[in-house]
Amino acid sequence: MSKVFKNLAVLVGVLVLSTAIYLLVSENRQLKQDVLERSLSLLGEQLLALIPQGQARETVAVKWQGLVEGVNKGEIAPEQVERVAVGILNASNLDKQISGEEAEIIINMAFVPSPMDGFEQMPPLPPPTIKISRHNPPPEVQHQKLAELGKKLETICAFNKKIKNSCAQDPAKQKVFVQNLRYELEDGIRLKADLQLKQSLDSENFKLWSQEMKRLEEEKLLDWRQNFALNLANEHQSIKVQIDSLRAVIEMQNAQKVEKQLTLVQVEVEKMKALQTLERLQHWQMVEPAALEKMVHEHLNETVKSR
C-alpha cells in the first residue's frame, strides 16, 4: 500500500513539475510576444503620426493592423518587418509629413519578397493580401526569431525616441541628427552613423547620445562609417541624376506617342509611377543604393535603345 502511495506521490510530483515548466514557458513566450507587439505598436504610432488627420490615416491604420496579424501568423518574415521599420524611422526622422499613399508604400514592402528582384516587381501599391511563399520554420524557431525581432525593434525605437526628443527644440542638433544618423538594412536593421560624430559625443550637449549609442554598440546595432554623411549625399545625388534622366526620356516618349499609341503611353505612365516609388524608397533607405543605381541605369539604357 505504501508503494502505491509512493508511486502516486511521484506521479503528482511529475505533474506539478510539468505544469510549472509549462506555465513558465508559456509566460516567457507571452512576455516575448508582448515585447514584439509593443514594438510594432510603437512603429505603427510613428507611421500614423506622419500622416495628416483624415480618411487616409484610418486606411493606413487598417493596413498596419493587417501587417501585425501577418507577423503574428508567421506570414511575414522578420527581415521584411525590419525593412519596414527602416522606412518608418527614416521617414519619421526627416520630420516631414507624408501622404497616405506613401505610408502604404512603406507598409507594402513587407509583402514584397525582395525589392531587388526587379523594377517591374515594385508597383506603387501592391495589394496587402500577398503572402510570401517560404519554408515555415518550426514553431519554436519562429517564436525565437520573433522574440529577437521584438527585442531589437524595442531597443531601436526607444533609442530613436530619446534622441529625437533631445533635439526637438534644438535646430542644430536636429541637423546633426538628420545628416549623420540613418537606419539601413544590412544583415538586419542597423543604425549607420558618421565616425566624425563620435568625436562630438564627449560634449555635454551630446551626453545622452553617447550613453544611448554606446548601448546600441554593445548590442551590435550601430555601425560607424567614415564620411558617412558625405557618401550618403553623393549616393543620393548620383541616383537622382539618373532618375531625372530616365524621367526625361519617358516624358519625351509620351509626347511622341500621345496621339498614336495610347496603350504604350499608359505603360510609360506606369513606369513613371514605379520610378517615383523607387525614388521614395531610396530616400527612406528601404532599398540598397548600389542596387538601385544599377537597376535605374539598366532601365535607362533599355529605354534609350528602344527609342
Query: By C-alpha distance, which of 33, 42, 63 is closest to 130?
Result: 63
Q: Which residue matches cell numbers 507587439? A: 37
Neighbours of 109 (CB within 10 A): 23
Q: Based on the number of CB atoms within 10 Å of its own CB, is 131 exposed (0-12), middle (13-18) or buried (19 or more)? A: exposed
Residues 132, 275, 280, 41: what is their CA dihedral angle, to the nearest 10 degrees? -20
Specify the pLDDT at position 263. 60
Report the DSSP beta bridge partners of residue 184: 190
Specify the pLDDT at position 74. 84
Write out the three cell numbers for 129: 493580401
Residues 210, 214, 216, 219: what is their CA dihedral angle, to the nearest 10 degrees? -170
- Give the up-direction half-sphere exposure of residue 68: CA atoms within 13 A in the CB hemisphere: 20
Specify the pLDDT at position 157. 92
Q: How far apart are CA 227 and CA 192, in angstroms?
A: 11
Query: By C-alpha distance, which of 297, 178, 196 is closest to 239?
Result: 297
Write out the three cell numbers for 145: 526569431
Residues 286, 291, 296, 297: what is their CA dihedral angle, to the nearest 10 degrees? 160
**pLDDT tens series, the chain, 307 aa:** 555 545 555 444 444 444 434 333 333 444 445 888 889 999 999 999 999 888 788 999 999 999 999 998 888 888 889 999 999 999 999 878 999 999 998 998 888 765 444 444 444 434 434 343 344 555 566 677 888 889 999 999 999 999 999 888 888 888 888 888 999 988 889 999 998 888 888 888 888 899 899 999 999 999 999 888 888 888 777 777 777 777 777 776 666 665 555 566 666 667 777 777 778 888 888 877 666 666 666 665 665 555 5
